[in-house]
Amino acid sequence: MILPIYLYGHPVLTTPALEVDPIDPILPGLIQDMFETMYAASGVGLAAPQIGRSMKMFVMDASGFDEKRFAHEKRVFINPVILQEEGDPWSFNEGCLSIPDVRGDVLRKPRIQVEWMDQDGKKQLQWFDDMPARIIQHEYDHLMGKLFVGYFSPLRRQMMQRRLDSIKKGMTKAEYPVFAAPPQGGRHKR
Ligand code: NI
């Protein structure tokens, strides 16, 4: 089932996600929905908070980025922990399904060691580099309640502010189902 992707401005995206119960019976269906939702939006990664679930898990399919090189990088990360990051930071122009129409260069270290549980409940420990490492770092940030626009310089942030404000109101040209948070601030009609 394709689920709506929660947009920038929804509090679930800026709240640290909760540990996942590995035997939670909703997991298999949720994982399938997350892949379907990610593919429908032509994404290469999707974190549970982006579909409104405050759970420490994300899916990735880096083959959407390069079919040949990353053919085997279709994975599910449950309760992941990045144990080590190393190398000289490299820049890449990132985007995020929760922040349509906004892109920006983000510096990240090229090599990471990750421990996680896969969809079969098996503990995994592995090093990643290149794009898979970057996708994992971006999705892992989501689980910490951190968005890639947080890495922008104050100037870039300011330039993007109007667009961010309209995304918050649900105004986007995204070609996939989205969900915007109801307006905050407790304003009432008089
Ligand atoms: Ni994202």
The predicted-structure confidence for 83-109, as pLDDT tens digits, reads as follows 999 999 999 999 999 999 899 999 999
What confidence category does residue 182 fall into, taking pLDDT thresholds of 50, 70 and 90? confident
Interval between CA 138 and ligand 1 midpoint (Å): 6
Q: Is 175 a catalytic site residue?
A: no
Distance from the alpha carbon of residue 188 to the mean position of ligand 1, in angstroms: 32
Q: Please report, for residues 102, 155, 179, the alpha-carbon distance to residue 161 in angstroms, rounded to integers and kept in the order given.
A: 10, 10, 19
3-state secondary structure of 135: helix
pLDDT score, position 187: 54
pLDDT tier at 67, thresholds 50, 70, 90: confident
Average pLDDT over residues 162-186: 88
> Is a pLDDT exceeding 60 seen at residue 185?
no
Q: Which member of 73, 85, 86, 139 is catalytic?
A: 139
Q: How does pLDDT run across 20-45, given as a tens digit for each residue?
A: 998 899 999 999 999 999 999 999 99
Residue 149 CA, ligand 1 centroid: distance in Å: 10
What is the distance in A from the centroid of ligand 1 to the CA of 95?
A: 7
pTM listed for this prediction: 0.94
Cβ contacts of 89 within 8 Å, gap of 6 or more: 107, 108, 109, 110
Higher-scoring residue by pLDDT: 64, 123: 123
Superfamily of domain 5-179: Peptide deformylase (3.90.45.10)
Ligand 1 centroid – CA 185 distance (Å) = 25
Structure confidence by residue, pLDDT tens digits, 136-166: 999 999 999 999 999 999 999 999 999 999 9
Pairing of the two strands 123-129 and 178-179: unpaired
Burial of 28 (0-12, 13-18, 19+ CB in 10 A): exposed
Q: Locate the domains of the chain by residue range.
A: 5-179
